[in-house]
Structure 1
């Protein structure tokens, strides 16, 4: 799939998405600074969350308290949502720094707004992973869709995938665990390979809510083409997602290490040119293990393999010498040659 000029897939370095989300606490200046620091850390893509609370929730949400907050989910989003005008400014700032700007719409109104300001693709969060009418609505825009699959099974995500397939839009599925932060006891790295097996036509990635970069990097080693993590300018900031957020230094680490892992992941199993000098001394050559007379019929006890490997007969030919007759006398540790054998 392609987002703007960025190709995404197994043949390309993983796209690391720095999710600002609501970590700015509703402050545009803070959000801008987060984007600036992400760009300086080498980010290609930042992601926001677009919340129009009146279209996203009903009044019942005012009595629902998420496990990572001490106020209702309504109050969290009301406090942290940027205005439409502020989001336009944030998008412009990100794009002025050469970044891809993505956002997750949490309502139909939010999706329509993002389409009106020209986002290049859509991220659908795990909470909306089975919101079929919203997925259908977004798919009609004809742009790439990245869908997190937290709290879903392979079976339950099928209907959403069917909508994306039928629409013809390129799409990615991200393995995800929706606890903030997620301990390793419930993170499913296997979910990456399970999704790939079940949906071979999808780009597969990993949306990580654990602490530290280890799970995300392991996801890259399993072939994740997209890695998404929450991001903040400082972990000393307050907010419901700060505990599982990376700072600019960790973002830089994740970008660099994920590219290295991607490179190594595609190297075939073979002896490389830089290893040749090591190969010459590290392997063994067949030698006499004791003084041997001409005419000796070689037995296992007569020969061995010792470094360096610059002899004519390598260690892996050991069995081929058993039962062969020496045509000259040799002393212990003499490197044998094929011409020494009848």
Structure 2
């Protein structure tokens, strides 16, 4: 089964769908968001993703009044969440620019009003963050849109994932294996879960959302059959913010996409044949014919 998002098909016979996760790495700056879109497009990704919150709803109560040091001074966590949110007009500017650069763009809505917000902007798909896997009301609102849904599965049990899939349905679903440790150590990557998810949800495209430093684990995910790869991107890993350390800088992301495309060509179809490039060595080196 394949799922179409924008101009791309996602599935076994399609190129790996690469999602550049801007998330909150724009730090509330439209200019930075546009630079991140350029990073995604220049590297050859198919999509760029953001996050959308209604902070008063999506921020856990125990976190709202927590004090946080920010580039804009000390403020509560709730104030910070509002500080990095984009308005409708800003999202229109960002979304239009992504479209002009040839990218699909969408976001992870963290609450039901954010679903309505993104639907008003006619996004091509929705992404469910790992933290939202158990938010049944949010899942129901997303399922009601009829849009393709990408489901990350970090910090979740198989029973919780089963329940989410039951609510969403499988007709337009892409599942991403993820471990929500930032940055991700190799011993927690658990890449064999890609196979587990493929077997548990037959016909549903399965990909990988990575939070590790470096490229190796994401590349290995592709060799295990991941049909989509999502990675956080940043202009500079030393920038202020919680996700930058687990993100790829422009050169690293460019190399990741390059290597994913090479692997896509190299995987083949599993049918043994003598390739044209082997004919000259065959004629030169084989002493005994079959």
Question: Shared fold (TM-score greater than 0.5)?
Answer: yes
Match of 1:87 among 87, 91, 94: 91
2:113: which partner in 1?
109
Q: Confirm or deny: 8 A CA contact 2:133 2:160 kept in the other structure.
A: no
Between Structure 1 and Structure 2, how many residues are aligned? 282
Instruction: Give me the whole-angstrom Cα distance separating, in 1, the residues matched to 2:180 and 2:188.
Output: 10
1:139: which partner in 2?
143
2:280: which partner in 1?
277
Structure 1 residues 98-152: Cα deviation after superposition (integer angstroms, max 9, x where no partner): 1100111011111110001100100000000121111111110001000000011
Instruction: Name the CA shift for 1:11/1:180 in 2 (closer, same or farther; >3 Å).
Output: same
Q: What RMSD, in angstroms, separates the aligned Cα atoms of the two structures?
A: 2.1
Match of 1:14 among 16, 30, 34: 16
1:27: which partner in 2?
29
2:158: which partner in 1?
154
Report the 3-state secondary structure (helix = DSSP H, G, I; strand = E; otherwise coil) of the residue aligned with 1:101: strand
Instruction: Give me the whole-angstrom Cα distance separating, in 1, the residues matched to 2:287 and 2:33.
Output: 62
Instruction: Give me the whole-angstrom Cα distance separating, in 1, the residues matched to 2:220 and 2:76.
Output: 34
Tell which has more relative contact order, 1 or 2 (C-alpha 8 A, sep 6+): 2
Q: Confirm or deny: 8 A CA contact 1:142 1:169 kept in the other structure.
A: no
- Output the TM-score relative to the length of structure 2: 0.91
Q: Confirm or deny: 8 A CA contact 2:211 2:246 kept in the other structure.
A: yes
- Output the TM-score relative to the length of structure 1: 0.77
Instruction: Give me the whole-angstrom Cα distance separating, in 2, the residues matched to 1:277 and 1:251.
Output: 38
1:176: which partner in 2?
178
Report the 3-state secondary structure (helix = DSSP H, G, I; strand = E; otherwise coil) of the residue aligned with 1:140: helix
Instruction: Name the CA shift for 1:75/1:219 in 2 (closer, same or farther; >3 Å).
Output: farther
Q: Confirm or deny: 8 A CA contact 1:192 1:222 kept in the other structure.
A: yes
Q: Which residues in structure 2 correspond to 1:163-312 (within 5 Å)?
A: 163-165=167-169, 169-268=171-270, 269-281=272-284, 308-312=285-289
- State the 1:201 CA deviation: 2.6
Instruction: Give me the whole-angstrom Cα distance separating, in 1, the residues matched to 2:109 and 2:117.
Output: 9
Instruction: Name the CA shift for 1:12/1:72 in 2 (closer, same or farther; >3 Å).
Output: farther
Instruction: Give me the whole-angstrom Cα distance separating, in 2, the residues matched to 1:64 and 1:274.
Output: 64
Q: Confirm or deny: 8 A CA contact 1:209 1:229 kept in the other structure.
A: yes
- State the 1:43 CA deviation: 2.2
Q: Confirm or deny: 8 A CA contact 1:154 1:198 kept in the other structure.
A: no
Structure 2 residue runs of 5 or longer lacking an equivalent are 69-73
Q: Confirm or deny: 8 A CA contact 1:43 1:251 kept in the other structure.
A: no
Instruction: Give me the whole-angstrom Cα distance separating, in 1, the residues matched to 2:247 and 2:124.
Output: 24
Instruction: Give me the whole-angstrom Cα distance separating, in 1, the residues matched to 2:163 and 2:198.
Output: 16
Q: Confirm or deny: 8 A CA contact 1:15 1:226 kept in the other structure.
A: yes
- State the 1:65 CA deviation: 8.8
Report the 3-state secondary structure (helix = DSSP H, G, I; strand = E; otherwise coil) of the residue aligned with 2:159: coil
Structure 1 residues 132-188: Cα deviation after superposition (integer angstroms, max 9, x where no partner): 1111111100010000000112222111111122xx640011000101101001111
1:324: which partner in 2?
none
Structure 1 residues 234-259: Cα deviation after superposition (integer angstroms, max 9, x where no partner): 22322211111112222221112112
Structure 1 residue runs of 5 or longer lacking an equivalent are 282-307, 315-342
